Amino acid sequence: MIVLCLGAAAIVTSRLGATYEAQAELLVTPAPLYDAGLVGLDLIRDSGDEVRTMQTAASVVHSPRTAARAARALGGSTSVDQLLDDTEVDVVGQSNVLAVNVRASEAQEAARLANTFAKAALEDRRDLLVRDINQAVGSLAARRAASLKSADARAADLLADRIATLEDIKASGRDPTLSLTSAASVPNEPTGIPRALIFVVALLVGIGIAIATALALDALSTRLGSEAELEKLFPFPVLARVPVVRQRRGAQLVPWKMPSDAIETFHTLAAQLEWRASRVESLDWSTTSALTLCVTSPNTGDGKTTTTAALAVALSQAGHTVIAIDCDLRQPALHSAFGLTSRDAIGELLAANDRLEDHLVTVPDFPDVHVLTALSGDAGAITDLPLRLPHLLTQARERATVVLLDAPPLGEVGDAIRFRDGVDNYLLVARLGTTRRTGLQAARDLLSSVNLLPIGIVVNATSHSPRPAVHPFAEPAALSDWSLPRTWAERPSH
C-alpha cells in the first residue's frame, strides 16, 4: 500500500510539472457616481459599497474583451479561453488594488502574460473612454454652437468648459479610474505543493491506509493471528513453537528434511512429553506400559499430521519405539508425512481382524518408527474404528513405548473425543494464520463438555525463536510414568 501511494505521488508530480505564477497590480480610483462633467463616460463608478465597487472593477478587467486583446498582443500563441483560464483577478485584501495573477509552465512566460493582460485591460479601458469622449465632445460642440447662435454666452461657456475637461482626459491617454501600480516580475520558485511534501504526504497516507487496512483485516479475520490470541482463547501450556517451514512447490515435507531449528523444536517437545510422563506412578515405560497420545487440531491444515510424524521421529531418536496410527479416515495423510506409499492398512486390519504387527510399515532409516496407514474410509469404517480402537491399542502398547494417534480435527468433527477411553492424553496443534477462531473455540468447548484437559499445545508457523519448554525436563534415565491431570477439574491454576 505504501509503495502504491508513493508510485501514485510520482505519477502525479510527473504529470503536474512545475507551475509558475506572476502578479501585476492595478489601482482602482472610482469616479463619483454623479458628476456632470463625466456624464456619458463608461467609467468605474463609486457605488457607495466598496466591496461591490471592487468586484465590479475585477469583472471589468477579467473579461473576454481584455483576454482577446491580450491574445492578439501575444501573437496568437495563447487562445482567449486558455488565457482566461490561466488568469485570476482578485481584490488585494480590503484595498483598492486588483491583483492580476497568471499561471504558466515557465517563470518568464508567467511574467510576460501577466504584464500583457494588465496592459490589455488598461488599453481596452482607454479605447472605450476615447470612444465615449469623442461622442460626448461632438454632442457638446453642437449644443455650444446652438448657444452661440442664440447669443446665450453663459451656456456656451459652460459647454466649452465640459469640452475642455473631456479633451484633457482624452489627452492623458488612460482611464483615470484604473492604473498600473506594479508590473509583474519573474517568479523565483514554482507555486503549488512542493514535490517533497507530496511524497511525504503520500508516505503518511500510505502508512495510514496500511495500518487501517491491517486493523480492519484483523477485526474481520476469522483466523488466529497471534500466540497471545491463542492463549486467550485456549489457555493451556504451549509445549513447542514450530517456526515457519518453507518448502518448494510440490515437494514432500518429511521430518528428516525439515530445517534444523524445526527439528530441534520437536526434540524439545519429545523431552517435554518425557518429563511430563515421569511425574506420577501410573505409567512404567520400563515394563510393558506405553504412552498413548491423541494428536488433533481445531481445523484441517493446522499441521497435526506433520507434527505427529516429526514427534514420532524425535521420540525414536530419544530411544523409544513408536507406533503412529492414522485415525483420520476422512482425510488420511500420515503415509505422506512419512514419505510412504498409500495403503489402507487400518481398513484391512479392521476387516480381517488380524494382528496389528502384520499391517505396520516401518519407516526407512528409522527402524523404531512403525506406521499404520489408512485410506479414506466409508461411514462404516469411521463408525467402527472407535469401537475396535481399544483392542488395537492394547496390541500397540505391547510392541511400543509410545503410541501416537493422528486424529481428525476436533473443531470440525468429534471423532477424536470417541478415542478418549483408549488414550492417555490429547495434544492440540494450531497454526497461526490458518486456525480459525471458531474451530479453536469448538475444540475447547468439546473438550470441556467431556471434562478432558489436553496436555498442551503445539504452535505451528510462529515467528518466535524456538524457546525452552514451559517446564524443566528430566534426563531420560528418570523416565518412569505418565503424569498430567486429564480433567478440567484437576487443571492446575496458572
pLDDT tens digits, residue range 121-172? 999 988 888 888 888 888 888 888 888 778 778 888 888 888 888 888 888 8
What CA–CA distance (Å, rounded) separates 459 from 297?
A: 10
Dihedral over alpha carbons 466, 469, 472, 476 (to 10 degrees)? -90
The residue that leads in pLDDT, 239 or 159, is: 239
Confidence label for 215 from pLDDT (cuts 50, 70 and 90): low
pLDDT at 473 over 90: no
**Could you count the other beta carbons within 10 Å of the beta carbon of residue 438?**
13
The residue that leads in pLDDT, 159 or 478, is: 159
Question: Stretch 247-269: mean pLDDT, rounded?
Answer: 80
What confidence score (pLDDT) does residue 199 get? 67
What confidence score (pLDDT) does residue 162 get? 81
What CA–CA distance (Å, rounded) separates 207 from 213?
A: 10
Question: Stretch 407-416: mean pLDDT, rounded?
Answer: 89
What confidence score (pLDDT) does residue 466 get? 46
Confidence label for 195 from pLDDT (cuts 50, 70 and 90): low
Model-level pTM?
Answer: 0.55
Mean of per-residue pLDDT scores for the chain: 81
Tens digits of per-residue pLDDT, 418-467? Answer: 888 888 889 999 998 888 888 888 888 888 888 888 888 999 876 554 44
What confidence score (pLDDT) does residue 254 get? 81
pLDDT over 70, % of the chain = 83
DSSP 270-338: HHHHHHHTTSSSS--TTTT--EEEEEE-SSTTSSHHHHHHHHHHHHHHTT--EEEEE--SSS--HHHHT
What CA–CA distance (Å, rounded) separates 341 from 164?
A: 120
pLDDT at 477 over 80: no
At 173 the three-state DSSP class reads: coil
Confidence label for 249 from pLDDT (cuts 50, 70 and 90): low
Question: Stretch 476-487: mean pLDDT, rounded?
Answer: 36
Q: What DSSP designation does 37 have? A: G
Question: Stretch 227-233: mean pLDDT, rounded?
Answer: 82
Confidence label for 493 from pLDDT (cuts 50, 70 and 90): very low
CB 347 within 8 A of CB 377: yes
CB 329 within 8 A of CB 245: no
Among 119-133, 244-258, 375-389, 390-404, where is mean pLDDT lowest?
Answer: 244-258
**Separation of first and last alpha carbons in the chain:** 42
Nearest in space to 404 (alpha carbons), one of 281, 291, 264: 291
In total, the chain counts a number of residues equal to 494
pLDDT at 335 over 70: yes
Among 79-88, 220-229, 290-299, 359-368, where is mean pLDDT lowest?
Answer: 220-229
Confidence label for 64 from pLDDT (cuts 50, 70 and 90): very high
Question: Stretch 209-223: mean pLDDT, rounded?
Answer: 68
Question: Stretch 324-346: mean pLDDT, rounded?
Answer: 89
Among 129-133, 150-154, 262-266, 406-410, where is mean pLDDT lowest?
Answer: 150-154
CA 326 to chain centre: 42
